[in-house]
Amino acid sequence: MSASATYRVLRLDELSVKPNRAEEVASAARANGVQGCQLTGIWLPLIGVSINTVTIATNWMQDPPASTRVAPSSDAIVGTRTRLFDVLARGQNACDPAKGGIYTHRWFVVRTGDVDHLTQSSVDAWKYSEADTAMRIAGFWRSREPSNDDTATILMIVYYPDLTAWEASRFWKPKPTGADQPNREVWGGMFRKRRDITLNSWVTVHRPV
């Protein structure tokens, strides 16, 4: 895909695999690639997800064809959950496994009417939090899965060099000793306001493949 392409749809495939086969499946998925899209990321779990899980994200300029196969052909795969998301902010660049580090997949549930507020407050805060910390926001997407209670589910994928860097960006904790974070009160305050409209949230931690 051209570097100038505008990706509008994220497809997230969560593969359930047989025990001790996740690394094999993830490596095969990376080697095979996916035609017609950007291979945004492949991850194995570190915290909060079964070790028998492979997560594959692909970026598309329009809705991916239903026939498109993302997972490699393997008898190790026992189940797949596929979801589509619409981009809200960023979400144009692939997550380079050569960088190492970790990626968090942070989920937010908000009222439908608060999606724009959540998005804008996040974008505004990132300018300061990325200046003060090693976090790098890969993207912010809204799930297309329907709800029956007027809520929306948002996915945010974030890169950190390691778990220590993740901890250093927790706004509700004291500033790490010796950390140079002159904007901490600014982005911390914005994240607190974001939390005020969040009905639910959870996070999982992954390593890239």
Global pTM exceeds 0.75: yes
pLDDT in tens, 10-29: 999 999 999 999 999 999 99
Q: Which CATH class is domain 102-208?
A: alpha beta
Q: Which CATH number fits domain 9-86: 3.40.190.170, 3.55.50.30, 3.40.50.2300, 3.30.70.100?
A: 3.30.70.100
List, for the chain, all residue ranges whose pLDDT scores fall below the cut of 70: 1-4
Note whether 12 and 83 are within 8 A (CB): yes
The answer to whether the 9-86 and 102-208 domains have the same CATH topology is yes
In 3D space, the residue among 64, 87, 78 whose CA is nearest the CA of residue 25 turns out to be 78
Q: Where are the domains of the chain?
A: 9-86, 102-208
Whose structure tokens read 């050569």?
98
What three-state secondary structure class fits 170? coil
**Spatial separation of the C-alpha atoms in residues 54 and 32, rounded to whole Å:** 15
The pLDDT value recorded for residue 66 is 87
The pLDDT value recorded for residue 2 is 46
